């Protein structure tokens, strides 16, 4: 027998709930659960302050399940959540924890779905309603007594709900509920607006506060890499070769960047999808499901699009673009190291972002170690390791299944087993060379940006703009366009435009450097005027390219 002593068993929860919780694999309550469960079980109002990923759902769901009466077929508990996604997550969690409580029904109420079936589910005796405030108010306008039997109210992520403008809806909901209810409020932050709500609508609440920040970060192994902005995509490709990840979420700042990185990764054979504000809700849910079940391994997301994304498989968070503030850094990397697992967070830092790195280190009270870009040698080693690992399980049994074919091939080809094995390897590793020299040629990359010297005041304003360009190859000239990173341009956009409309071969185009306000491209000197003529009207990312020869000095 496995031991079930301690932990959840000691919290006075119903045995059927403790059993369901153990069945989900939780071993012991998280700090917020250990503190909040007794308070909610005792019937107190409560304010719980804790960051994302601390286990708030079970902190309120478990005691509330204990306090409802499964035999009464009417709404008894209401949980409000800011978004449809979160409401669905909470409803699913309730169902999991109530798996051994026959007769308990949960209904999720949110916008974007027809109201009829939702109302029907309530009428059919759901005891627990999980809702977004807006849609619940729509229901209340049709039936003001809908919540008259609800004696437990939970506001989950209260600060997010206020940010989304649900203040008035919340007031409507409070007023539609019995006065003599229990109210529990969870929030990551407690701004004045939340304290005012608590003042008006909570009765002598107990305060619980989990200083989760350092704790959240503690299980996560953090590292940063200094890199120039125009080298981010090749750097990511190299990093991923040596990082041993299960699922990974990469954060970028713009929609375009989600698409650029996604297609670069796709081209390398990764199972990857983009998540940005343009992606429809149902598509978004498909992406998250696919990441959960392994049809996808990488999601490239903006902060907004990743809101509420919670996938335990995520072992790595890759911050390709810097977050806007340290809070969102903590939030981002909290997507890994979920519920006691180990996680790894990588941060790409451009020279001008050094300060932000220091702020992050100060706020999280941790050093974010520096790593170097993997060398071609390290990439090679990683590829060989992966190949070995993929062949290992096939050694057993393959001779039985493929021995005959092997004999036939050896006869037909008239070669030695070693020769054949080498040929098979060559075929197997096509596009993924295991030859060091070739690898070095394939992954040309300027070294990581130097970190040695912090810029003195007034000095480092635009360090990238002023860096001397590297020497040109024979027969090449540099050209300049006024389109740069701030226009949403990535190297591959320029490359694509010049290949398509300039009719050049890929080898004819040299280094492309994307700067904030302009970009430089190395092109062949021979035939340059004709080339620039052909590109005269070319547009990239909706803007005129206007490529000109660039005179240095």
With CB under 5 to 8 Å by kind, the binding choice for 338 among Mg ion, ligand ADP, none is: ligand ADP
What would the x/- binding string for ligand ADP be over residues 481 to 520, using CB under 6 A? Answer: ----------------------------------------
How many residues belong to the site for ligand ADP (CB under 6 A)?
17
Smallest gap from Cβ 544 to ligand ADP, in A, equals 47
With CB under 5 to 8 Å by kind, the binding choice for 53 among Mg ion, ligand ADP, none is: ligand ADP
Smallest gap from Cβ 29 to ligand ADP, in A, equals 5
Enter the DSSP assignment of 229.
Answer: G
Q: Which of 85, 159, 260, 310 binds ligand ADP (CB under 6 A)?
A: 310
What would the x/- binding string for ligand ADP be over residues 32 to 61, using CB under 6 A? Answer: -x----------------x-xxxxxxx---
| C-beta separation of 373 from 380 below 8 A | no
Q: How far apart are CA 303 and CA 22, in angstroms?
A: 33
Which strands sit side by side in the sheet containing 182-187, from one edge to the other?
A: 106-109, 128-131, 77-80, 152-155, 182-187, 46-49, 206-209
Q: How far apart are CA 427 and CA 515, in angstroms?
A: 39
Dihedral angle at the C-alpha atoms of 349, 353, 356, 362, nearest 10 degrees?
A: 60
Q: Tokens representing 453?
A: 């010297």
The answer to whether residue 332 forms part of the interface with Mg ion (CB under 5 A) is no
* Residue whose C-alpha is closest to residue 155's, from 75, 63, 78, 62: 78
Nearest to ligand ADP of 108, 239 (CB atom): 108
Q: Which of 111, 125, 234, 312 binds ligand ADP (CB under 6 A)?
A: 312
Enter the DSSP assignment of 472.
Answer: P
The answer to whether residue 524 forms part of the interface with ligand ADP (CB under 6 A) is no
Nearest to ligand ADP of 128, 485 (CB atom): 128
Nearest to ligand ADP of 58, 299 (CB atom): 58
Q: How far apart are CA 133 and CA 136, in angstroms?
A: 5
Smallest gap from Cβ 209 to Mg ion, in A, equals 16
With CB under 5 to 8 Å by kind, the binding choice for 315 among ligand ADP, Mg ion, none is: none
The answer to whether residue 11 forms part of the interface with ligand ADP (CB under 6 A) is no
Q: Which stretch binds ligand ADP (CB under 6 A): 255-263, 272-280, 283-291, 338-346?
A: 338-346
Smallest gap from Cβ 156 to Mg ion, in A, equals 6
Please, which residues bridge with residue 523 across strands? 477
Q: Which stretch binds ligand ADP (CB under 6 A): 27-35, 175-183, 217-225, 487-495?
A: 27-35
What would the x/- binding string for ligand ADP be over residues 151 to 190, using CB under 6 A? Answer: ----------------------------------------
Q: Which of 17, 26, 345, 523 binds ligand ADP (CB under 6 A)?
A: 26
Beta strand pairing call for 314-319 and 247-251: parallel
Smallest gap from Cβ 80 to ligand ADP, in A, equals 14
The answer to whether residue 476 forms part of the interface with Mg ion (CB under 5 A) is no
With CB under 5 to 8 Å by kind, the binding choice for 339 among ligand ADP, Mg ion, none is: ligand ADP
DSSP count for the chain of H helices, then E strands = 21, 20
The answer to whether residue 56 forms part of the interface with Mg ion (CB under 5 A) is yes
The answer to whether residue 284 forms part of the interface with Mg ion (CB under 5 A) is no
Nearest to Mg ion of 56, 151 (CB atom): 56
| C-beta separation of 161 from 180 below 8 A | no
CB count within 10 Å of CB 272 equals: 21
Q: Which stretch binds ligand ADP (CB under 6 A): 22-30, 272-280, 382-390, 481-489?
A: 22-30
- The DSSP-derived string for 378-412 is HHHHHHHHHHHHHHHHHHHHHHHHHHHHHHHHHHH
- The DSSP-derived string for 277-313 is TTS-HHHHHHHHHHHHHTS-SEEEE-TTTTTT---TT
The answer to whether residue 331 forms part of the interface with ligand ADP (CB under 6 A) is no
The CA-atom distances, in angstroms, between 34 and each of 28, 90, 207, 421 are 9, 19, 14, 58
The answer to whether residue 29 forms part of the interface with ligand ADP (CB under 6 A) is yes
Nearest to ligand ADP of 308, 351 (CB atom): 308
Q: Tokens representing 526?
A: 């021979």
* Residue whose C-alpha is closest to residue 108's, from 88, 125, 138, 134: 88
Residue that has been written with the tokens 């989760």 in this structure? 212
With CB under 5 to 8 Å by kind, the binding choice for 523 among ligand ADP, Mg ion, none is: none
Phi, psi at 287, each rounded to 5°: -60, -45
Q: What is the binding site for ligand ADP (CB under 6 A)? A: 26, 29-30, 33, 50, 52-58, 310, 312, 338-340
Q: What is the binding site for Mg ion (CB under 5 A)? A: 56
């Amino acid at each position: 027998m496995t031991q079930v002593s301690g932990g959840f068993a000691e919290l006075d929860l119903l045995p059927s709930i403790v059993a369901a919780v153990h069945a989900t694999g939780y071993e012991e309550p998280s700090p917020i659960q250990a503190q909040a469960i007794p308070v909610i079980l005792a019937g107190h109002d409560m304010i719980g302050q804790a960051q994302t990923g601390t286990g708030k759902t079970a902190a309120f769901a478990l005691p509330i399940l204990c306090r409802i009466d499964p035999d009464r077929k009417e709404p008894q508990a209401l949980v409000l959540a800011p978004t449809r996604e979160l409401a669905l997550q909470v409803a699913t969690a309730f169902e999991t924890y109530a798996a051994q409580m026959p007769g308990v029904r949960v209904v999720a109420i949110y916008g974007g779905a027809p109201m009829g079936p939702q109302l029907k589910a309530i009428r059919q005796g759901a005891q627990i309603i999980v809702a977004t405030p807006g849609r619940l108010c729509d229901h209340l306008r049709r039936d003001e007594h809908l919540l008259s039997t609800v004696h437990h109210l939970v506001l989950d992520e209260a600060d997010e709900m206020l940010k989304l403008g649900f203040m008035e809806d919340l007031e409507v909901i409070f007023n539609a509920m019995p006065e003599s209810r229990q109210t529990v409020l969870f929030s990551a932050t407690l701004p004045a607006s939340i304290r005012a709500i608590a003042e008006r609508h909570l009765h002598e609440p107990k305060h619980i506060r989990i200083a989760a920040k350092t704790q959240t970060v503690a299980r996560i192994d953090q590292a940063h890499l200094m890199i120039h902005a125009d080298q981010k995509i090749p750097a990511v490709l190299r990093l991923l070769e040596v990082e041993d990840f299960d699922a990974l979420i990469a954060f970028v700042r713009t929609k375009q960047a989600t698409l650029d990185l996604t297609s670069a990764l796709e081209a390398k054979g990764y199972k990857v999808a983009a998540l940005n504000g343009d992606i429809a809700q149902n598509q978004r849910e498909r992406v998250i499901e696919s990441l959960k079940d392994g049809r996808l391994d990488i999601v490239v997301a903006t902060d907004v699009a990743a809101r509420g994304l919670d996938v335990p498989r995520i072992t790595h968070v890759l911050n390709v673009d810097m977050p806007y503030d340290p809070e969102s850094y903590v939030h981002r990397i909290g997507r890994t190291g979920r519920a006691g697992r180990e996680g790894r967070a990588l941060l790409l830092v451009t020279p001008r972002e050094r300060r932000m790195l220091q702020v992050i280190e100060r706020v999280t009270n941790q050093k974010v170690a520096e790593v170097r870009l993997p060398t071609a040698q390290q990439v090679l080693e990683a590829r060989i390791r992966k190949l070995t690992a993929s062949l290992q399980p096939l050694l057993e049994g393959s001779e039985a299944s493929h021995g005959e074919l092997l004999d036939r091939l050896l006869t037909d080809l008239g070669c030695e087993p070693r020769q054949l094995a080498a040929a098979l390897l060559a075929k197997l590793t096509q596009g993924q060379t295991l030859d060091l020299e070739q690898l070095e040629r394939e992954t040309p990359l300027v070294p990581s940006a130097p970190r040695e010297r912090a810029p003195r005041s007034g000095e480092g304003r635009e360090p990238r703009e002023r860096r001397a360009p590297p020497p040109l190859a024979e027969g090449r000239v540099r050209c300049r366009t006024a389109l740069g990173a701030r226009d949403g341009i990535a190297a591959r956009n320029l490359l694509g435009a010049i290949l398509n409309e300039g009719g050049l071969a890929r080898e004819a185009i040299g280094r492309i450097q994307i700067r904030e306000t302009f970009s430089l491209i190395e092109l062949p000197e021979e035939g340059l005027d004709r080339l620039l003529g052909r590109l005269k009207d070319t547009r990239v990312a909706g803007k005129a390219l206007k490529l000109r020869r660039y005179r240095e000095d």
